[in-house]
Copies of this chain bind each other. A is one copy, B any other.
Amino acid sequence: MKVGIINVTGYAGMELARLLYRHPDVELTSVTGRSAAGKKLGEALPHLMDIDLTITEELSEDVDFVFSALPQVASAQAIVPLIRRGLKVVDISADFRLRDPAEYLQWYGAEHPAPDLLDESVYGLTEWYRPELEACSLVANPGCYPTSALLGLGPALQAGIITDDIIIDSKSGVSGAGHSTASMYDYAEANENLQAYGLGGHRHLPEITQELKARIPGRDPKVTFVPHLVPMTRGILSTCYAPLVPGKLAEGKAGIEQLRELYVESYRNEPFVRVTPAPPQTKATWGSNYSLVYPTIDLRANRVVIVSALDNLVKGAAGQAIQNMNLMAGFPETMGIDALPAYP
């Protein structure tokens, strides 16, 4: 299968190239980029010097499958013609994540360019939408924060163990911002520094809320989501808090054990989600498609606390995109993305 990457010079794009180049059943044949067009891939991105491709402005005609790693709005503009032509596409941007064009307008400040395609697209949280993903042609790959929060909260919410009063305190490495000229992402300023941001409302909030509502129909989760910028390149850790619904679990430590068993059971057959016996480190996912989840209870306050960790560029972006491609193309789900994390 011949695949192409639109905007290979972004962090998600280069991570796609790294992984697809060693994928046994695909051939990477076309990579685009605006400012670097005309350069050899290895000239623009030295770590990819073994990939013998030239960056072009437009995607080659002969690809069978496309990943778009463009920012929102630009991404939809680029891929809508491809979808109309019958190509299969995974869109890393946010353009097809929100079901409701009005929400898209509110959060992204633009009219949705192809509202008719919203019904065709599938939200690419692989663990939640596997059957739909196998059958679809357009995947809206989830945001990095939502992936970590949803995998963390899903089992407890579905089992009715927690109420709707949900707080998600997320911490992300700096690569989540992509290339940016804002000084808060400069090394000298982001290093040895920590800050909360987006307290007025972050774009990943409606995405999280939409998917939680879809997962537990009839309920109305009230989510407070506060992201933080952490001085590291990769990694997201979401610490999720919600009150325990009384009577659902045993008292005391037995309840914690029941909660843990619920999560183990829920993720038993998942190739990339692991329920850990201790709070996970982001670094135990570095460079890999693994997602680590640790559920527990603060017994003094009767609150469930769930810690969820992943690599924002792999399971939070390029890795999950390839996981979805594998399903769409009928390949084994883990093909090309089964490398273990590199530690330390």
> Which residue numbers of A lie inside 8 Å of B, CB to CB?
11, 14-15, 18, 21-22, 43, 45-51, 165, 167, 169, 171, 173-175, 177, 179-181, 183, 185-197, 199-201, 205, 222-224, 226, 228, 230-235, 237, 239, 241, 243, 274, 276-288, 292, 296, 298, 300-303, 305, 307, 309, 338-344
Contacts and interface: CB of A to CB of B under 8 A. Distances in A.
A133 to B, nearest CB: 23
Contacts of A22: 338-340
Contacts of A186: 174, 179-180, 185-187
23 contacts: A18-B341, A21-B340, A45-B343, A50-B274, A50-B340, A169-B169, A171-B171, A171-B228, A171-B230, A173-B188, A175-B344, A187-B231, A188-B233, A191-B191, A192-B233, A192-B235, A193-B281, A194-B230, A194-B235, A196-B237, A200-B296, A201-B300, A287-B287
A50 to B, nearest CB: 7
A312 to B, nearest CB: 11
Contact of A196 (B279, B287, B300): B279
Most buried by B among A11, A239, A283, A301: A283
A188 B239 contact: no
Nearest to A45: B343
A237 B231 CA distance: 13
Contact of A239 (B181, B226, B281): B226
